Amino acid sequence: MAVEVRLPMILQKVAGGAKTVKVEGKSIHEVFDNLEKNHHGFASRLFDNEGNLNHFIMVYVNNEDIRLQRGMQTELKDGDVITLLPAMAGGEDCCR
Amino acid sequence: MEMSLPFSRPWPAGKTAVAELKDRPESSFPLARRYADKMIAHAREEAPNECCGILAGPANEGRVEKLYHGINAEKSPVRYNIDPQQLLSIHEETEAKGWAILGIYHSHTHTEAFPSATDVRLAFWPDSTYLIISLKEQGEPVIRAFSIRDGRIEEKQVVIGE
């Protein structure tokens, strides 16, 4: 069962410049495992040192944020579209 | 009221934005005055919290066509994070139009318009220009623009046009 994964610019180079890749998997967890198998380097960008999904990577299945679903266990159907987007975040550090 | 925008200069009269863009060095960011005004107004509306937003336009022209007011999910005076669902909507809209996300703006309400360590650490959009509005001097807001790639900061000239 294949899903389409849409990659942001910062992850496209890991996939050899591809904007989208087809990946097998019945859950987000499986898809990310297979992404790493097919294109080594994804895992280090998607997960922190404890293996948790990086807080600043947004993952959507058919435009729904997986954090509002079952997270990494979110189930997938054939033809689902997964979009990965890095957060737009930052802010001043300073003391007043 | 004439707005003071240090580090910016006016476009020469009588030339189009697109033609001017080709004449300029790569390290500049053309910005119509109406968008600069909207960004400053947005920063003031959200103060003391940081504001954030997106500037998008045709990818091959580098001309801003639309300003999106971001929802700061952090609602914080020292952090911004564009609401994830809104970010997706804006991304989808710009993709459908064939546009690029040319600029990502946010405000620093009490410090200079220069990327903080947090801004650099979380700069995940290397092909977009990061614009910072400083309200440190209330009467004289400042907008500066930067490329942030692989932890390196390079300033771009904000070129204000009509």
Q: Taking CB atoms and an 8 Å limit, are B125 and A90 in contact across chains?
A: no
Q: Taking CB atoms and an 8 Å limit, are A92 and B111 in contact across chains?
A: yes
DSSP, res A19: S
DSSP, res A66: G
- The answer to whether residue A80 sits within a structural domain is yes
pLDDT above 60: residue B4: no
Task: List, in sequence order, the alpha helices (H) in A1-96.
Answer: 9-12, 28-38, 42-46
Q: Which of B7, B23, B105, B124 has its CA nearest to residue B64?
A: B105
The span from the CA of A94 to the CA of B77, in Å, is: 11
pLDDT tens for chain A, 96 residues: list them: 899 999 998 899 899 999 999 999 999 999 999 999 999 999 999 999 999 999 899 999 999 999 999 999 999 999 999 999 999 999 887 544
pLDDT above 80: residue B20: no
The span from the CA of B133 to the CA of B114, in Å, is: 9
pTM, 2 dp: 0.85
pLDDT for res A94 = 58
- The answer to whether residue A36 sits within a structural domain is yes
Domain count for chain A: 1
Q: Are the CB atoms for A82 and A3 separated by under 8 Å?
A: yes
| A24-33, B8-17, B39-48, B140-149: least confidently modelled range | B8-17
Q: Taking CB atoms and an 8 Å limit, are B104 and A9 in contact across chains?
A: no
Q: Are the CB atoms for B72 and B66 separated by under 8 Å?
A: no
- The answer to whether residue A62 sits within a structural domain is yes
SS3 A48: coil
Query: Of B54, B79, B85, which has the smallest distance from its Cβ to A91's Cβ?
Result: B79
Query: B74 contacts in A (CB within 8 Å)?
Result: 89, 91
How do residues B115-137 score in pLDDT, each as one tens digit? 999 999 999 999 999 999 999 98
- The answer to whether residue A12 sits within a structural domain is yes
- The answer to whether residue A18 sits within a structural domain is yes
Q: Which of B45, B63, B47 has its CA nearest to residue B55?
A: B63
pLDDT above 80: residue B10: no
Nearest-CA distance B9 → chain A (Å): 26
The span from the CA of B43 to the CA of B33, in Å, is: 15
- The answer to whether residue A37 sits within a structural domain is yes
- Domains of chain B, earliest start first: 25-161 (3.40.140.10)
| Mean of per-residue pLDDT scores for chain B | 86
pLDDT above 90: residue B44: yes
- The answer to whether residue A29 sits within a structural domain is yes
Q: Taking CB atoms and an 8 Å limit, are A88 and B111 in contact across chains?
A: no
Give the range of the structural domain holding residue A32, as residue numbers without chain letter: 2-86
pLDDT above 90: residue B11: no
Where residue A26 sits, what CATH number does that domain have? Answer: 3.10.20.30
Omega within 30 of 0 (cis) for the link into B12: no
The span from the CA of A89 to the CA of B35, in Å, is: 21
- The answer to whether residue A93 sits within a structural domain is no
CB atoms < 10 A from the CB of B34, how many?
Answer: 12
